[in-house]
Structure 1
Amino acid sequence: MGEKSLHILARHANSLEDVETAGKNDPLVVVTLDLEDKPSWKKSSVKNNAGTNVEWDEVLVLDNYDHSRHHNLYVDVLDKEKTANAVIGYCTIPLHQVIDAGGQLKAKFDLYNKDGKEKGTISLTLTIVNTSESGDNHDNDGPESKGLSTNDQKHQDHIKSLVLKEHGADAAALLGVAGALFLAGSAMRSKPKKEKN
């Protein structure tokens, strides 16, 4: 039978939540079969200033796919930030629907925002590939179906940790600015005043 991989053609996302306070979202997609195995996560390129509608048309490959162990694909759409990336949306995709579709599924999946509410969609083509096969058969011409995506507890917990990391990075940045302002103010107050004659 041989080893298999899961190829994810990240095509586009629409009606994403706007998480930028200034400017537009800089979205990227992160996919994994195992939230605990960080080295296995694959990331797309960042689409700077794409906003709430974005096109990637980029293939991400997750090696060592085993249908007996990997029941879900975890998808995060993040806003690239200097400190910690902000969560735009996420979903958990049950992979039985790819198997039921003959090993390839071109579909649009609902995304959930960090509060767990449906917001936006992502269009993906998921293909199970034997690693001994060559070539990229990501049929992008066929019709797109409505795929099943969920908001499972394990993924929610992962998203909460990302949100906490983002808030921690934001707080640290604010403390750094406040500290710099405090030091500048202290330096100004400690300067000897010139006497007037």
Structure 2
Amino acid sequence: MTQSIQVIVHRVESLDDVEHMGKNDPYVQLTTDLAEKESFKKTTVKKNAGRNAEYEEHLTLENFQPQHDNYLYVEVLESDVGIDPPIGFTAIPMFQVTEAPQHALKGTFQLYTPSGKEKGTVTLSIFIVAPGQPAPQIQLHEVRGKTEIVSEQKKRIETMKTNEKINDVGAAAAILGALYGAKKMHDASKKPKNIEA
């Protein structure tokens, strides 16, 4: 029988700074299935939040199957033009929630940079409920949650980082090309015109 995962994304803290100009514009996305692009649920973007952002947003992941879905995958990304670069990621083993009283857990979870270093945290309340049911209104004691680096997710994040670098190089080349073209046109307009007698 499938269930739903209801998540309250409370906050992210002490994020890596990936913004070249200005401050991070972070958002959080969640899934239990990395292979299914449509399964990701996202928070809003917090513009110019920097290294810390408050969300207090509710996200629901449907079709949770405890016997197959071992992890809740969390990714924090920078909202950018083109490709959104990853700031941090983590995999939360779901046994912590399935074995918790009332299938509910509030925890602060370690985030990892694309290179695998510990950097920053995400705080979530996670509930497993029957489809269509609301999360129970209960007071949860916040704990330090367990996390893992899952190779499938780490490869995905590394690919995203590589694609972002390629995108940055392409964008820089396009800007340089445009500037070079503008300079050539400007130089051509300054050349004296030949006047025939």
TM-score between both structures, scaled by the size of structure 2: 0.92
Q: In the TM superposition, what is the alpha-carbon distance from 1:192 to its structure 2 partner?
A: 6.1
The 1:92–1:138 alpha-carbon spacing in structure 2 relative to 1, beyond 3 Å, is: farther
> Partner residue of 1:182?
180
> Partner residue of 1:13?
12
Q: In the TM superposition, what is the alpha-carbon distance from 1:83 to its structure 2 partner?
A: 1.5
The 1:63–1:147 alpha-carbon spacing in structure 2 relative to 1, beyond 3 Å, is: same
Q: In the TM superposition, what is the alpha-carbon distance from 1:47 to its structure 2 partner?
A: 0.5
RMSD: 1.8
CA distance in 2, matches of 1:61, 1:171: 37
CA distance in 2, matches of 1:80, 1:67: 32
Where does 1:34-183 land on structure 2 (aligned, <5 Å)? 34-102=33-101, 103-133=103-133, 135-137=134-136, 139=138, 141-183=139-181
CA distance in 2, matches of 1:18, 1:178: 26
CA distances 1:20-74 after superposition (whole Å, capped 9, x unpaired): 1111111100111011000111111001011111110001111000011100111
CA distance in 2, matches of 1:132, 1:5: 8
What letter is aligned with 1:163? K
What letter is aligned with 2:163? K
Secondary structure of 1:11's partner?
Answer: strand
- Could you tell me which runs of 5 or more consecutive residues in structure 2 were left unpaired when the two chains were aligned: none
**8 Å CA contact 1:125, 1:138 repeated in 2:** no
CA distance in 2, matches of 1:163, 1:29: 16
Aligned length in residues: 194
The 1:192–1:132 alpha-carbon spacing in structure 2 relative to 1, beyond 3 Å, is: closer
Q: In the TM superposition, what is the alpha-carbon distance from 1:79 to its structure 2 partner?
A: 0.9
- Could you tell me which runs of 5 or more consecutive residues in structure 1 were left unpaired when the two chains were aligned: none
CA distances 1:137-159 after superposition (whole Å, capped 9, x unpaired): 264x4320010011121111010
**8 Å CA contact 2:127, 2:135 repeated in 1:** no
The 1:13–1:132 alpha-carbon spacing in structure 2 relative to 1, beyond 3 Å, is: closer
Q: Give the fraction of aligned pairs with identical amino acids, expressed as a percent.
A: 35
